[in-house]
Amino acid sequence: MIVATLGPEGNNHVLVLGRYLEARGLAEAEVKFYDDFPTAFAALVAGEVDRVLQCTAHFSHADCVGRYMHRVFPVDVVVAGSHPLVLLAQRDLATPRQVARQPATRYYTDLSGFAEEIDAPTTVAVAEGLLEGRFEAGICARQTLEAHPDKLRLVEELGPALDVWVLYGTEPLSDAHPLVV
């Protein structure tokens, strides 16, 4: 079995996919990483992978469900926590004016103290932007601070997000399957 999700290593998709495969006794499955979900879903339809794991909070979720309706089907679902999240700021900025966040994280804390909110596609993109100096503050995984305490400072601990994750395949579940109501 080949299971696909978003890369790179260290993101929430990789974390949850590892947990999922272990919990379902599929630790030997081959894993393939993609840069975006439309490409991963196209690979599923083309038979290049057997399954795709996607978080329902991901910004492309609704588009993928709509685009691949009647060709790709949910075959399993799990609830899983993300990497612990934090609100970070550039270490040398006392009062950041802008904050970057993945759209799903926009309500995880009060961001009204920032003059500007910037959308980023993923929390990994927020971390990259913080490290490159493109963002003054942002919501991303705590591991970013742990890896770069010389560049970033903690503004607020947010903890892990508890999300619904869907595994997709190309054959629908039978009406008798326990997940089907």
The amino acid sitting at 136 is E
169 sits in which H/E element: strand 162-169
In this prediction the pTM is: 0.81
Residues 6+ apart with CB under 8 A from 123: 11, 12, 82, 85, 102, 105, 139, 140, 141
User: pLDDT tens per residue, the chain (181 residues)?
Assistant: 999 998 876 678 888 999 999 999 999 999 999 989 999 999 999 999 999 999 998 878 999 999 999 999 999 999 998 889 999 999 999 999 999 998 889 999 999 999 999 999 888 899 999 999 999 999 999 999 999 999 999 999 999 989 999 999 999 999 999 999 9
The rounded distance, in Å, linking the Cα atoms of 57 and 126 is 16
Q: Residue 73 corresponds to which tokens in the numbers above?
A: 């089907």
pLDDT at residue 10, as a whole number? 60
C-alpha 78, offset from chain centre: 14
